Structure 1
Amino acid sequence: QRARLTNGTDGFDALEQALSIAGVGLSDVVSCLFFVTDQAQVFDLFDGFFDVFNAKHPPPPARAELQAETECGDCAVMMRCIAAMPAAVELTTAELPGQE
């Protein structure tokens, strides 16, 4: 996702919309890779990340931040996040360990 704001919140909003199409949400995100155009603004991204994942959708995913130029000239942050879709599992009592 692309974020023009240095805290990434516009990118997180777009990510949430994209995930909802697949039936998952920000709470299902397990890892994110961020490319920031200016390393001096990475603390702004940390603030946005904390608000979105630590405060509103815990637990926060694993993350990494790299400084890089991107194909989006006016973006402060490019993000690639991976969400894990919860498995639909049906267990009967007989299938549980120790329940014979």
Structure 2
Amino acid sequence: MSKIKSFFKKYGKKFSIVVASAFMVVVGCVSSFATETGAAAGSSDLQSSFSTAISSIQSDVLGYIALALPIGLAIFGAIIAIKKGISFVRGLIGR
């Protein structure tokens, strides 16, 4: 068990990136291979379905980034302003 814990401590971020990427591929493939009529789909049908699924994933991810970016920048700016303000006050009082 300790080997597993040390593995995840060492490679946790890389492992989570791989898992997230694999999840996105699986979601895209499931939606591209699903057919509405139940008949076998041709190669061009699969390509267009896969392309549509990837485009949908891209627009969703970019939409989430567009929602989170202004909030993240505001938080980052507030943290920088607080740190600079503290250092300015420390410089004034001579610490």
TM-score range (shorter-chain normalised) is under 0.3
TM superposition score normalised by structure 2: 0.24
Q: Which has the larger radius of gyration?
A: 2
TM superposition score normalised by structure 1: 0.23
Taking CA–CA contacts closer than 8 Å with sequence separation of 6 or more, which of the two structures ends up with the larger relative contact order?
1
The structure with more strand, counted as a fraction of residues: 1
